[in-house]
């Protein structure tokens, strides 16, 4: 990693990977707080005894509805990326960041438990390079320039149980300028 680049990177705590992904993508401590995401959960399911948008233990594990609502409150959108398309169709000049959602296997010793657990992590361009800001990493992982990012995303999206969300400003989502025009796409 280039030591001269100042990168904000939250590390994993409890089941707060969605919170960490948001703060990492905005490159700011407390861009969002756990109480903010919990309030969103309560607004999405105000009468629920067990809130379906987070862990029943209250430790996090927020779903896409919470993430999307949090982003909308600050003028951004999480646009689901159809992985049948090549990531080379992304107009990275219009993309604020990327968030991947992956299956997170839960084990008790050698036994896998049948729990639907997911993990969120951010990818962000900082000073011309893209970084994997996964909260489970010790430090940000340099992916490289856009060409390396495309290769990285193709590899990630080749796995069936991974989802990609393109994080853009609201107006970019509305006019779909996060996509390159068809004549500029390279596969």
- Let me know if 17 is a catalytic residue: yes
Cα dist from 157 to 60, 110, 142, 164, whole Å: 25, 27, 18, 8
Which is catalytic among the residues 9, 20, 76, 119? 119
Single out the residue of 92, 181, 182, 184 nearest to residue 144, CA to CA. 92
- Let me know if 41 is a catalytic residue: no
- Give the position of tokens 């490159």: 27
Which is catalytic among the residues 17, 53, 76, 89? 17
Longest dimension (CA), the chain: 51
Residues near 100 by Cβ (< 8 Å), separated by ≥ 6? Answer: 120, 121, 123, 156, 162, 163, 164, 165
Catalytic residues: 17, 119
């Amino acid at each position: 990693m280039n030591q001269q680049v100042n990168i904000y990177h939250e590390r994993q705590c409890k089941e707060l990977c969605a919170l960490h992904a948001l703060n990492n993508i905005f490159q700011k401590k407390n861009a969002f707080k756990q109480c903010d995401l919990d309030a969103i959960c309560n607004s999405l399911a105000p009468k629920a005894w067990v809130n379906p948008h987070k862990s029943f233990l209250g430790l996090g594990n927020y779903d896409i509805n919470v993430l999307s609502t949090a982003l909308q409150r600050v003028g951004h959108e999480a646009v689901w990326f159809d992985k049948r398309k090549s990531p080379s169709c992304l107009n990275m000049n219009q993309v604020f960041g990327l968030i991947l959602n992956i299956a997170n296997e839960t084990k008790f010793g050698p036994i896998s438990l049948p729990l639907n657990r997911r993990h969120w992590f951010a990818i962000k361009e900082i000073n011309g390079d893209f970084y994997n800001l996964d909260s489970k990493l010790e430090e940000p992982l340099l992916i490289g320039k856009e060409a390396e990012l495309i290769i990285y995303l193709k590899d990630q999206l080749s796995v069936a149980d991974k989802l990609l969300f393109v994080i853009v400003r609201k107006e970019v989502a509305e006019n779909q300028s996060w996509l390159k025009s068809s004549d500029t796409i390279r596969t």
